[in-house]
Structure 1
Amino acid sequence: MIFFTKLLLAHLIGDFLLQPTRWVVHKEVHKITSKFLYLHISIHFGVTMLLLWDLNQWQWAALIAVSHYFIDLGKLYSNPHFKNKAIPFFVDQLLHIIVLYSCAYHTNLLEHTIALVKEFDWNLITAIVFIGAPSSIIMAKLLGGMSDRIELDHKSLPNAGKYIGIIERLFVLIFIILGRWEAIGLLITAKSVFRFNDLKESNSRKLTEYILIGTLLSFGLAIITGILYMWVS
């Protein structure tokens, strides 16, 4: 496990801490001819060797560096074809982690992967999935009749409310699992404070009631999910 942790740490340092934004921009423009692409790969090799602190492990550092080069090239040339730039980024990171995982557990890769999958907490995974998009859709259906009566005089970020709801429900679920029910109250208070100015400026009772119902419904779904998870676990 410590071998994989060192490889992952080297990746995080090389990809995020030691890669300035101007390098990223230069690579996106010049792609395979960018000098920073090769400097970036060299840094990955160096940091990996430094953390492993064993010259006999140089082949793994070299393999990771070479695979990193081709994965990054694939990202650079495919990136313009994606409207959502987050997709190639996360695919790129996932491929890097798969390479690191394969190097760390190459002697028993299949057995370790099977054992890892068997250890998954499927109840927790189901709970996390439910408080995400399914809960957002449920809330949209329940609040659909009310939202048509609300007049908004300001613009917000696309799907901002949806993502805020998902994140807050995730926090609620975590707090329930940790047994920190008081933190849920603090979360509700924090959200109320952030919403106070919007409600004050709008001076709309309908909007206030709509936000209150939506908040209670969101927290209620998360709390019920958390209780059910603790009950079946």
Structure 2
Amino acid sequence: MTVLLLLLTAHFIGDFYLQPRAWIENRHARGLKASALYKHSLIHFVLATVALYIAGIGMVSAIMWGLLIALTHWLIDWAKSGHHSLSAFIFDQVAHIVVIVTVSAFITGVTVAQVSEMAAMLIQPDTLLYILGYIVVLNPASILIAQVLARHTKVLASAENQSLGDAGRWIGYVERVLALSFILVGQYTGLGFLVATKTVFRVGDLSKAKDMRLTEYMMLGTLFSFALALIVGWCIIAIVPA
């Protein structure tokens, strides 16, 4: 675990603290010819080597594994060059982390039996129930709320009330995930804080709108959102043994 944590720390420092914005733009603009691509990979080599040496695997081994991490980092960043989307960013980070986890597994001698044991823990009924709970409060809950409010949404659809596209849906995702998390850990104070925070941010919109229909619409959406998170959370708590 120490090796993995040190390598992850080195990765995030190299990717998010020691990579100037100009380097990112240079990589996207020039691809394989970008000098920043090689500078960035060199930084990751140094950081990974230092991290592994601190972990106590020996300088020669640290340099060899550091070179491997730097090379894969170079390949992944080159593949990402020119792609600015969220999916490209997620793919980039997941690919880097997979490499780091794999290297850590080889260095620490993780066996197939240990991997199978960890995988078996993930498919325990209790774990699957928690995963199912989060799946339910995301898209299925979003679709259900949209269906319930469909008639009101049509009434409010106008040029003056245009939103940021999917912003409302993502706000709902985040608030339900947070609400469910607070419920599962028994932190109802956090749930109250979440409700209060959303209310504070909405007060300005409602006072400016001066429209009772918009006020009622937003209250309905918020109440449905939190109600679904509460119901799912309470069901999980009731099923999972204490």
Fold conserved between structures, TM > 0.5: yes
Provide the rounded CA distance (Å) in 2 between the counterparts of 1:20 and 1:112.
40
Residue 16, structure 1, aligned to residue 16, structure 2: yes
Contact persistence 2:4–2:100 (CA under 8 A): yes
* Aligned pair partner of 2:129 in 123, 132, 154: 123
* SS of equivalent residue, structure 1 residue 165: helix
In structure 1, the residue matched to 2:80 is 75
**What is the Cα deviation at residue 230 of structure 1?**
1.4
User: Which whole-Å CA distance do the structure 1 matches of 2:114 and 2:41 have between them?
Assistant: 28
CA drift of 1:151 comes to: 4.7
TM-superposed deviation, 1:111:
3.4
The aligned counterpart of 2:144 is 138
- Name the aligned partner's letter for residue 68 of structure 2: L
Runs of 4+ in 1 over 3 A off after TM superposition: 107-113
Shift of 1:97: 0.9
Q: Displacement of 1:69 after TM fit?
A: 0.9
Give the equivalent residue in structure 1 for 2:180: 173
Tell whether the 8 Å contact from 1:27 to 1:37 is kept in structure 2 after alignment.
Answer: yes
Whichever residue aligns with residue 184 of structure 1, its letter is L
Q: Is the 8 A contact 1:102 1:109 kept in 2?
A: no
Partner in structure 1 of residue 6 of structure 2: 6
**Alignment of structure 1 residues 218-229 onto 2, 5 Å:** 218-229=225-236
Deviates more, 1:209-218 or 1:51-60: 51-60
* Structure-2-length-normalised TM-score: 0.89
TM-score with structure 1 setting the length: 0.92
After superposition, the Cα gap between the structure-2 partners of 1:9 and 1:182, relative to the gap in structure 1 and judged at 3 Å, is same
Aligned to 1:41: 41
Q: CA RMSD in A?
A: 1.5
Secondary structure in structure 2 of the residue aligned to 1:156: coil
Q: Which amino acid aligns with 2:99?
A: V
C-alpha separation between the residues in 1 aligned to 2:111 and 2:28? Answer: 34
Query: For residue 211 of structure 1, what is the amino acid of its counterpart?
Result: M
- Between the aligned residues of both structures, percent identity stands at 32
User: In the alignment, which of 174, 195, 198 is matched to residue 202 of structure 2?
Assistant: 195
Match for 2:66 among 57, 61, 64? 61
CA–CA distance in structure 2, aligned partners of residues 179 and 16 of structure 1:
34
Mark the runs of 5 or more structure 2 residues left unpaired by the alignment: none
